[in-house]
Structure 1
């Protein structure tokens, strides 16, 4: 929404700012990468439908991860389309038939623009859907598999292979989110100080992708393994750790006056939405090291770096507690698998050591001007754009983010209104 002060202080503002308050309409270039995602997501839909069919046939009453993904996808669709009832019902149908990821990928592939009344552009919706899949299905699914391996009787090569596949696929999804975001030409033009770390040269681009993929795989494997070790002693210990970690992050955001998420949702729903998004982003970054979350709108550079350092500490702590527990009288006598010290510390140290090595390789291969973005203290309320078109995109953000500079925004816009009406810029 445009501040009321603008309309009252400048009569010319009403018609001009009516267009400026619309969400940014981002045109996405067509490409084989997005078309391949469409095909892949449609295949995933078939797989999900088949899994649900088997669950019903076998009377499986505990498909909790799939249910969580569906519920979160419905929530995303509601936020995106609540102003248009027919469109909302249509999108609900896509979610319930598991075709939503394929539909989103197709829209991105053909360069579809945001429809009137939408909260965000199609590519952003695709990203949120993928994030929901990581948060509700891929990450907890990997942890559950790790825990089942440690406490169950099946330690076959097939079970190990299944674990590796879960880690690799989740890491690939996480890696794709950051990689595709950075290669987006509109984003590079809009925010050149943040987007553009992936080099244009093919070899350097491939090395960057590989480094990011290995980093995500190692962090997910190490963190999930460590949390599974902690859960052997008691799931409540892991839940308490994750809960306190998230509360500390939200406290950090509150202290820096950077709690509100950019979505223009206000009041009680706005507080709930901001807290929930911060929670989701924190969990995904904790387990996959999602590089995009160093963006000021998400975790911010300096906290992302802190998270990267804190993860190994937590992993070794859980490994230490596990070894104490299995060596004590409190451990069940029939615990099928008791890992030795060398195995526990070797796996955690090996995975996180490889991650640290690939992080150094990542910093070496990316464009040098972006190496410091992981140490940035910039908040989401800061707008450093030079072009008027991008400066005014602040009106599509939550006004709590720029309330501190409201007077400057009013003065700038009132000063520019006559100039814009005379020049009639394309935007």
Structure 2
């Protein structure tokens, strides 16, 4: 319990120091020249986007297509990167978001930028009429030294007490596809609903390994699912499954019947769901 409390406290203080360093950096750049702030934030974002594109990991795993998928991915990547820069939430090291190594790289970029921003501020900031008083060299050094000290001590403490099996996640190069494959392989045979949920994501997430792992699983169990009809085995889920993952005989049957069930039955099922939500009992 003590180690957990120390780990949590060091994580909070580390996040606190990082946020102050990042905020102070942006304030110094904005005070010196707003164009410098724009260049810094744009360059940082561009490096992240180029990394994601180079790793073929830019598109988010949500099952969208076309222009909508592009726009959703752009907005999401920009939002997550901005939030990570100004909050340092460790959940963003998830491979589906920033990823481990890009997360750590962002921290050190912020750290390095604070040196550059303070140097630019001292050499290029000019006090004009009505402007605030320029911070002295000693004041800047005191502020930054204090923040660096908290950052360094918190980092050392956090690394010392964190569970060893989690440490590699801060340096991981896993993509969303790699992470999904590892997650899938860790599932037990009886966790069918969780396995099936993988097919509700965009096919880019599993296309590199799906033929090897998911296709044999669906081919082996499809007939049993049709017979047992588990709760998760519904038309909406089937529509997300690539045709090649559906056994040929069932694929032919679906084509002939224009779907898994008769349209009239689907309508009755939908009405029953509405009645259930409204609390209307059967036969009333």
Q: Secondary structure at the match of 2:222?
A: helix
Q: Which has the larger radius of gyration?
A: 2
What does residue 34 of structure 1 align with?
Answer: none
Please tell me whether the aligned partners of residues 281 and 293 of structure 1 are also in contact (alpha carbons under 8 angstroms): yes
Separation (CA, whole Å) in 1 of partners of 2:60 and 2:168: 24
Deviations 1:357-376 (A, max 9, x none): 21221122222211111011
Alignment of 1:74-153 (within 5 A): none
Please tell me whether the aligned partners of residues 122 and 137 of structure 2 are also in contact (alpha carbons under 8 angstroms): yes
Please tell me whether the aligned partners of residues 260 and 401 of structure 1 are also in contact (alpha carbons under 8 angstroms): no
- Residues 426 and 273 of structure 1, relative CA distance in 2, 3 Å threshold: closer
What does residue 412 of structure 1 align with?
Answer: 217
Q: Secondary structure at the match of 2:106?
A: helix
What does residue 340 of structure 1 align with?
Answer: 136
Q: Secondary structure at the match of 1:376?
A: coil
What does residue 146 of structure 2 align with?
Answer: 350
Alignment of 1:20-419 (within 5 A): 201=1, 203-326=2-125, 330-382=126-178, 383-384=181-182, 385=184, 386-387=186-187, 388=189, 389=192, 390-408=194-212, 409-418=214-223
Q: Secondary structure at the match of 2:176?
A: coil
Deviations 1:232-258 (A, max 9, x none): 122222122111211110110010011
Report the Cα offset of residue 423 of structure 1.
7.3
Report the Cα offset of residue 291 of structure 1.
0.6
Taking structure 1 as the reference length, what is the TM-score of the superposition? 0.49
- Residues 345 and 392 of structure 1, relative CA distance in 2, 3 Å threshold: farther
Larger RCO (alpha carbons 8 Å, 6+ apart): 2
Report the Cα offset of residue 223 of structure 1.
0.8
Please tell me whether the aligned partners of residues 230 and 318 of structure 1 are also in contact (alpha carbons under 8 angstroms): yes
Please tell me whether the aligned partners of residues 222 and 351 of structure 1 are also in contact (alpha carbons under 8 angstroms): yes
Report the Cα offset of residue 418 of structure 1.
3.8
Structure 2, gaps ≥5 residues long: 233-284
- Residues 345 and 272 of structure 1, relative CA distance in 2, 3 Å threshold: farther
Structure 1, gaps ≥5 residues long: 1-200
Separation (CA, whole Å) in 2 of partners of 1:310 and 1:233: 19
Separation (CA, whole Å) in 2 of partners of 1:405 and 1:420: 23
- Residues 423 and 208 of structure 1, relative CA distance in 2, 3 Å threshold: farther
Report the Cα offset of residue 286 of structure 1.
1.3
Separation (CA, whole Å) in 2 of partners of 1:342 and 1:289: 28
Separation (CA, whole Å) in 1 of partners of 2:64 and 2:152: 38
Please tell me whether the aligned partners of residues 301 and 374 of structure 1 are also in contact (alpha carbons under 8 angstroms): yes
Q: Secondary structure at the match of 1:246?
A: helix
Please tell me whether the aligned partners of residues 260 and 398 of structure 1 are also in contact (alpha carbons under 8 angstroms): no
Separation (CA, whole Å) in 2 of partners of 1:207 and 1:426: 43
Moved more, 288-297 or 354-363: 354-363
- Residues 413 and 251 of structure 1, relative CA distance in 2, 3 Å threshold: same
Please tell me whether the aligned partners of residues 127 and 133 of structure 2 are also in contact (alpha carbons under 8 angstroms): no
- The alignment's C-alpha RMSD in Å is 2.2
Report the Cα offset of residue 334 of structure 1.
4.3
